[in-house]
Amino acid sequence: CSDVMRVEVERKFVCNSDVHEKLREIGAVCVGQCEFEDKYFDCPEHHLTLRDVWLRCRQGSWELKCPTQEDRQERGEQESHARSLLTRYREITSLPEIIAKVREVTGEECAGHGPSRMEDEGMRMEDVDECSLRGGALSWLNELHLVPFAVFSTKRCSFTLAEEGQQHGVRVDLDQADFGFCVGEIEVLLPDGGEMQPALEQIERTAQRLGLSGEKRVPGKMDAYLQKYCPEHYKKLLNAKIL
């Protein structure tokens, strides 16, 4: 519905010691290294994450990832094995659209249930910090009872891999999170409404060139974080088949 939406198609993989060498062999080019902190928000009842909606502030920039229409349809249907290794999320980066989407998703369920977890658990406004302030005041987080549930930093090494005849390059990220977890990601970013099938095939080809076996879904940073620090939340998401 707007130009600040795009779809991220991604396959995660287990990062082993020879991945750098493999990337070099297949002609991937390192485009930089960076470090960032992510802060994820939900209401205490987990209404967002239980709907597979992920609200994050990364270095002062807000982003909402939510399932695409196709994913919602496929969830009830049988999906192919190759497809089940991939995730597709719509990414929204405009704050007014994020707020509108959060309201729509929760039906404002998060709001108006007595004191927020912040008040309840004595969380301080500093826990929310500049993300919310840069986002134009704390009121929307407070009003929707959104509080941080996961905070971690990541060191990322990014590569691009051009393919002949392909309009969009593939990107490979190698992530090292500060709680002792590493993961690789092969991803293609599509403009909203962009063709999905070529992106899926591009990711599959890259996985093969990297020699990834791909029998099963690889957990991401959030799986590892929640399993370690928020086991109850993690269990709820497993039961709801979100993770």
Residues that bind ligand V4E (CB under 6 A): 10, 12, 54, 65, 87, 89, 185, 217, 220-222, 242-243
Between 35 and 120, name the residue whose CB sits nearer to ligand V4E. 35
Please give the Cα distance from 212 to 139 (Å, whole number): 46
Q: In whole angstroms, how close is the CB of 164 to ligand V4E at the nearest point?
A: 25
Between 23 and 113, name the residue whose CB sits nearer to ligand V4E. 23
Report which secondary-structure segment, H or E, holds 132: helix 129-134
The residue with its CB nearest to ligand V4E is 222
Between 10 and 204, name the residue whose CB sits nearer to ligand V4E. 10
Please give the Cα distance from 150 to 227 (Å, whole number): 11
Question: Rounded to the nearest 5 degrees, what angle is found at the Cα of 145, between the Cα atoms of 220 and 131?
Answer: 60
Is 170:188 a contact under the CB 8 Å cutoff? Answer: yes
Between 45 and 91, name the residue whose CB sits nearer to ligand V4E. 91
Please give the Cα distance from 50 to 26 (Å, whole number): 38
Q: In whole angstroms, how close is the CB of 65 to ligand V4E at the nearest point?
A: 4
Q: In whole angstroms, how close is the CB of 135 to ligand V4E at the nearest point?
A: 17
Please give the Cα distance from 196 to 185 (Å, whole number): 17
**Hey, is 108 helix, strand or coil?**
coil
Q: In whole angstroms, how close is the CB of 4 to ligand V4E at the nearest point?
A: 14
Q: In whole angstroms, how close is the CB of 69 to ligand V4E at the nearest point?
A: 16
Please give the Cα distance from 228 to 215 (Å, whole number): 24
Between 52 and 145, name the residue whose CB sits nearer to ligand V4E. 52
> Nearest Cα to 206, choosing from 190, 220, 186, 189?
186
Q: In whole angstroms, how close is the CB of 149 to ligand V4E at the nearest point?
A: 11
Beta partners for 233?
A: none
Please give the Cα distance from 57 to 137 (Å, whole number): 14
**Hey, is 157 helix, strand or coil?**
strand
Beta partners for 176?
A: 155, 182
Q: In whole angstroms, how close is the CB of 48 to ligand V4E at the nearest point?
A: 11
Between 140 and 149, name the residue whose CB sits nearer to ligand V4E. 149
User: Which structure tokens are listed for 235?
Assistant: 């269990």
Between 185 and 204, name the residue whose CB sits nearer to ligand V4E. 185
